[in-house]
Amino acid sequence: MNTCRRSRACYLAGCRNEPCRAANYRYMKRLQYDHARGQKRRTDATQTRVWIDRLAAHGWTRTQIADAAGTTPTTIRRITVGESRNISRSVAAGVLAIPLGRPDQGRINSTGTTRRLRALAVLGYPIYAIAEASRMDTSMLQGHLAAQHATIPAPIARRIATTYRRLSLTPGPSQISRTRAAARGWHGPAAWEDIDDPACEPEIDERPAGPGRPEQIDDERVRILVRNGHSNTQIAVRLGCSKRGVERSRSRTKQKETAA
């Protein structure tokens, strides 16, 4: 009995389960949006093929290139032998982003990567927006978002971490992403003391803020973020609170400093 892969590829293979139909729907909506902007999904593979040859000359195998680019060894092989003359822009960008030099063959625990992807979803970044920002393959990122892999190639983890540091300072564009992330119980950036430590538990206040009860905000965290140059809006995004809550926290800190 075949297992549902919860993806557009599974839908194209004939599956009509809701997750696969939803994945196909999202893909088609993004495709229509790209067409409306005049943005092509595919590009000539020549430049990518040349870069693969140069990486191979430095000792990279097809599997290592695929891992670092966020795609599959089969895709790399098809590009190398000329079977794929036009490739997706995400694959091309992933390969071309690999620096020349000796390959990094290490794999690390994927916990931090999964938490970063989910935290970005909490902030309103859908997976395709993260893929575009990191120049990675969407389906590969979806696998790590769903925690399907225990380990991840170190270069991929570093690229996602870099994208996370950049995107986590501002809210994302998708309320749908925020709603789905909340429904799944995912946590934002402020919940993790050490986002890469599998043993780390999220730090959350289970009691929701409401009438007569102010938000519970760590004034020391706010003070450190202010000292590091973050704006009130950026701090609110990082801590998952309101801008007004940050303003009150800063006021409390100022009063304490004045009293001292």
**Total number of domains constituting the chain:** 4
Is 129:34 a contact under the CB 8 Å cutoff? no
Q: Using a cut of 0.85, tell me whether the model's pTM lies above it.
A: no
Answer yes or no: do 86 and 32 share one domain. no
Q: Considering the domain boundaries, does residue 187 fall inside one?
A: yes
Answer yes or no: do 154 and 180 share one domain. yes
HEC per residue, 154-191: HHHHHHHHHHHHHHCCCCCCCHHHHHHHHHCCCCCHHH
Taking the C-alpha atoms of 137, 138, 139 and 142 in order, what is their torsion angle to the nearest 10 degrees? Answer: 130
pLDDT digits (tens, 9 = 90+) for 185-241: 898 887 888 899 888 888 764 344 444 444 567 788 888 888 877 788 778 777 767
Q: Considering the domain boundaries, does residue 87 fall inside one?
A: yes
Q: Considering the domain boundaries, does residue 201 fall inside one?
A: no
- Return the pLDDT at 40: 67
- Return the pLDDT at 207: 40
Would you say residue 249 has pLDDT above 80? yes
Would you say residue 153 has pLDDT above 60? yes
Q: What is the mean pLDDT of residues 43-62?
A: 91
Residues with Cβ within 8 Å of residue 118, at least 6 apart in sequence: 145, 181, 184, 186, 187
- Return the pLDDT at 5: 67
Answer yes or no: do 71 and 48 share one domain. yes
- Return the pLDDT at 39: 64
Q: Calculate helix-pair angle for 46-57, 89-96, nearest 10 degrees.
A: 30
- Return the pLDDT at 54: 92
Answer yes or no: do 3 and 48 share one domain. no
Q: What is the mean pLDDT of residues 50-75?
A: 87
- Return the pLDDT at 11: 82
Length of the chain counted residue by residue? 260
pLDDT digits (tens, 9 = 90+) for 105-148: 678 899 999 999 999 999 999 998 898 888 787 878 888 998 98
Answer yes or no: do 33 and 48 share one domain. no
Domain region containing 181: 107-191
Answer yes or no: do 47 and 35 share one domain. no
Q: Domain with 51 in it: what CATH number?
A: 1.10.260
